[in-house]
Amino acid sequence: MDLNSFVVSIILTIAILAPIAAMYAVSLIRKGKYRKHIRIQKTIFWICTVAVLLFEIYIRISGGSGSLIKESIYTDTEFFRLILNAHIAGAVLTYLLWIVMIIISNRKYKMAKELPGKFSKTHKALGYLTIFGLFYIAISALVVYIFAFLL
């Protein structure tokens, strides 16, 4: 395993574990463990964000994304580009939604006298949408990884 596939494997592992950990955090709500839910969700967010930022730096230092996947016979195919672009677009949208969720949820949580509160329905819907996005990221990242490093 070369350095590129090793680095990408670590990022892929984080991407696959993120929605699983997020679902675990959701399960804590039913038990009334709101603070633990918040702590886990924020931890997942920061681990993923730092991992993505470090990965982006690694990509730039390595000469761009093309340099990471130059060994793949699929790199220049339209199908691969479509999958890669769909993965990136989904990831950007998911992370933007996740950031908005954290900001709004922090404000509402500090103002709430009790939980669940008025924002709970919206929070739940946006939370599940974010988790859906995390699953999308994990699956699309796996597909990109398979085409770039295994096939």
pLDDT per residue as tens digits for the range 76-109: 889 988 998 999 999 999 999 999 999 888 887 7
pTM: predicted TM-score of the whole model, two decimal places: 0.87
pLDDT in tens, 36-87: 999 999 999 999 999 999 999 998 888 877 777 777 788 888 998 899 899 9
Number of domains comprising the chain: 1
Residue 141 to residue 68: CA distance in whole angstroms = 14
| pLDDT over 90 (residue 136) | yes
Residue 117, pLDDT score? 67
Range of the domain at 138: 3-150
Residue 26 to residue 123: CA distance in whole angstroms = 11
Residue 147 to residue 90: CA distance in whole angstroms = 18
| pLDDT over 90 (residue 129) | yes
Angle at 78 between CA 151 and CA 85, to 5 degrees: 90
